[in-house]
Amino acid sequence: MAMRERPEGEFFDVLCETSVCLPDAVQLLTPCTYGNGWLKVVDVGRFAITVFEKYSGKGVRVHLDASKLDDYPEIKAWFFRLKTKKEQDQEKLLREILDAGERILAASGVQVDARHIGKKKGGPTAFCPKCGEAYPVKSGNACLACQGEILYK
Ligand SMILES: [Zn+2]
């Protein structure tokens, strides 16, 4: 739906508002991946994506409209986590998703904020004076791990 409704333009990026599930769909169905930088994930926890013209930021935002889920009890139970994974009827859920199609979605035109337009430049790389591994200099005088970002015990 978002791809179909996207504005004119040769190149587009995707902004995804959740880090769960949805980024995978974008990566499977469009050329936009997290790795190539055309998919940006800003995890505000909303089940929504925006496909936008990559230079102007003009785009279409599509979200799951949860107010439309009353006719689809299995989707509703999955979305609101009303059932445990074991209690879910996977077949029914998939059937409902296919049956519902775009009926449970809503689309609107948006202008993406300038902070989320354009590619982040890589910049120079150097050896971290503490751990000795290569890191982007823009992080500071040491890599972020050595500046205190705890990754391991
Ligand atoms: Zn380091």
Predicted confidence (pLDDT) per residue in 90-114, tens digit: 999 999 999 999 999 999 999 999 9
Q: Are 145 and 130 in contact (CB under 8 A)?
A: no
Give exposure, 3-16, as e/b (b: 16+ Cβ within 10 Å).
eeebeeeeebbbbb
SS3 60: strand
Q: Ligand 1 mean position to 120 CA, how many Å?
A: 21
Kind of pairing, strands 134-136 and 48-53?
unpaired
- pLDDT for 20: 93
Q: Ligand 1 mean position to 134 CA, how many Å?
A: 8
Note whether 2-120 and 122-153 share their fold: no
Assign domain 2-120 to a CATH class: alpha beta
DSSP code, position 48: E
Q: What is the pTM of this model?
A: 0.84
Distance of CA 25 to the CA centre of its chain: 9
pLDDT at 119 over 80: no
Q: Ligand 1 mean position to 122 CA, how many Å?
A: 18
**Amino acid at the residue 77:** A
DSSP code, position 17: S
Q: Ligand 1 mean position to 143 CA, how many Å?
A: 4
d(CA 148, CA 37): 26
Q: What is the mean pLDDT of residues 4-26?
A: 94
User: From 2.40.50.60, 3.30.390.30, 3.30.60.80, 3.20.20.70, which CATH number describes the 122-153 domain?
Assistant: 3.30.60.80
Of 2-11, 42-51, 67-76, the poorest mean pLDDT is in 2-11
Q: What is the mean pLDDT of residues 22-36?
A: 95
Where do the domains of the chain lie? Answer: 2-120, 122-153
Q: Ligand 1 mean position to 137 CA, how many Å?
A: 11
